[in-house]
Amino acid sequence: MNAEEIRQVLLDILSRIVPDEDLSTLQDDVPFREQIELDSMDFLDIVMELRKQYRIQIPEEDYANMNTMGGAVNYLTPLMKGVSAPA
């Protein structure tokens, strides 16, 4: 998957976790929690969805890499390189 496909995967996951939030204005360099209502359980849901859908393991010590859209995309790009984009 490329960066744009990963961004879309994250947006899809976020839209299921926080369905009432407007995700169209998410900024890449601002933490998710400062832009949308996202608590620690919601964050874990993101990690678990990535694990369930794409078999991506994210160690707890790497969670800080996932706190912004840009950081998450950069972190996931090498991990999802060989993964097919959703149809």
The answer for residues whose C-beta is within 8 angstroms of residue 28's C-beta and 6 or more apart is 68, 69, 70, 73
CA distances from 60 to 31, 83, 85 (A): 17, 22, 25
Dihedral sign for Cα atoms in the order 20, 6, 68, 53: positive
pTM (2 decimals)? Answer: 0.91
Q: Which fold has domain 3-79?
A: 1.10.1200
Who has greater pLDDT, 87 or 83?
83
The pLDDT of residue 83 is 82
CA 53/CA 1 separation, integer angstroms: 13
User: pLDDT digit string (tens) for 45-84?
Assistant: 999 999 999 999 999 999 999 999 999 999 999 999 888 8
The pLDDT of residue 23 is 94
